[in-house]
Amino acid sequence: MNHYSGSIPNTLNHGREWLQHAVCKADPDAMHPGNDESGIAYAKRIWAACPVRMVCLQDALRTGDNDHGIRGALKPSERRAVAQRLNPDQYTNADAVTDAVQAVLHPATAERTLRDLWEERAYELPGGHLGWRGDAGALSFQGRAYTPKRIAFLLHRGYDPVGIVRRTCPVVECVHPLHVADNRERWQQQQTEPGKPEQVAAQGGRKLAECGTTSAYQRHVRNKEFIDDACRAANAAAQARYARTGSTKAVG
Ligand code: SF4
Ligand SMILES: [Zn+2]
Ligand SMILES: [Zn+2]
């Protein structure tokens, strides 16, 4: 049990230098509004300007200071809810704490998926391309940074890209998932481009099978690569042949 003394947060047992930056130093009583709604709103406004609010909230979680006063913009009941969502070893992880706060204060937002975000923001452009409404730069979603192209890749491929996701079509604002590629796909693309002797040599003299063949399909599966439509179709056709004839070979 940790009682407020009517002063700034009681953190005697912990490093205190962050308290020098506490906004509530100027108005300690404001952080203890009791159940007064306008007082709570005021405390939350002060918090919004407080540069150490995360440290302060983490300190409150760590010390179990969840019975009195506003800390890190949260009422005691909200801090208890945040604490319940976390393992004690996550109290020092600002991203985990941010996610838990988000889930407690805005449950609807927290349940939003990347797919929802995609559906809100992506729109059709002429010529089969897709644009992105609003700022096309990096955006933060549930504590993680994404670019629209990264979201496109992730939702379509179903796994994290390797390195940077770049556009492969000529339309500058395009985020179409089939018009973007990560480092691995770009590398793969280079390998299958004909007329690059040094790369053929690097493959041990063997040229990689082109997309749209069952060998290419199998290579994608082996290397856990993105499987394009042409290769999917080649594999489906081979499976169908096998079902019919007992052989996957196109001839014979
Ligand atoms: S978050 Fe609130 S209680 Fe904590 S230091 Fe900042 S103003 Fe004070
Ligand atoms: Zn495009
Ligand atoms: Zn392929």
pLDDT band at 122, cuts 50/70/90? very high
- Is 24 among the domain residues? yes
24 lines ligand 1 (CB under 6 A): yes
Cα of 228 to ligand 3 centre, how many Å? Answer: 5
Q: Residue 215 is which amino acid?
A: S
Ligand 2 mean position, distance from CA 177 (Å): 8
Structural domains in the chain (count): 3
Say whether both 27 and 99 belong to one domain: yes
36 in a domain, yes or no?
A: yes
Mean pLDDT of the chain: 79
**Pair (98, 119) in one structural domain:** no
Q: Is the predicted pLDDT of residue 131 greater than 90, yes or no?
A: yes
Long-range contacts formed by 23-31: CB under 8 A, 24+ apart: 23/47, 23/49, 23/50, 23/51, 24/50, 31/69, 31/70, 31/71
Mean pLDDT calculated for residue range 164-171: 92
Task: Please write the tens of the pLDDT for every residue from 187-219.
Answer: 888 887 765 555 444 555 567 788 888 888 888
What's the pLDDT score for residue 200? 47
Task: Give the domain-ending residue among 182, 207, 227.
Answer: 182
Residues 35-94 have pLDDT tens digits of 666 666 666 666 566 778 888 899 999 999 998 888 887 888 999 999 998 999 999 888
Does residue 216 have its Cβ closer than 6 Å to ligand 1? no
The domain boundary residue, chosen from 182, 213, 232: 182
190-to-70, 77, 161, 186, 199 alpha-carbon distances in Å: 57, 57, 17, 6, 8
Is 120 within the bounds of a domain?
A: yes
Judge contact between 117 and 151, C-beta under 8 A. Answer: yes
Pocket test for ligand 1, best of 18, 19, 27, 70 (most atoms within 8 A of CB): 70
- Judge whether 22 lies within some domain: yes
Residue 13 is predicted with a pLDDT of 43
Residue 165 in domain: yes
Q: Does 126 lie in the same domain as 77?
A: no
Instruction: Examine the pLDDT at 114 and tell me if it is beyond 50.
Output: yes
Q: How far apart are CA 56 and CA 24, in angstroms?
A: 11
What's the pLDDT at 32?
65
Beta carbon of 23 within 6 Å of any ligand 1 atom: yes
Domain of residue 42, residue span: 17-110
- Give me the pLDDT at residue 29, please: 65
Answer with the residue of higher pLDDT: 2 or 155: 155
In a domain, 252, yes or no: no
Q: Are residues 102 and 56 in the same domain?
A: yes
Indicate whether 204 belongs to any domain. Answer: yes
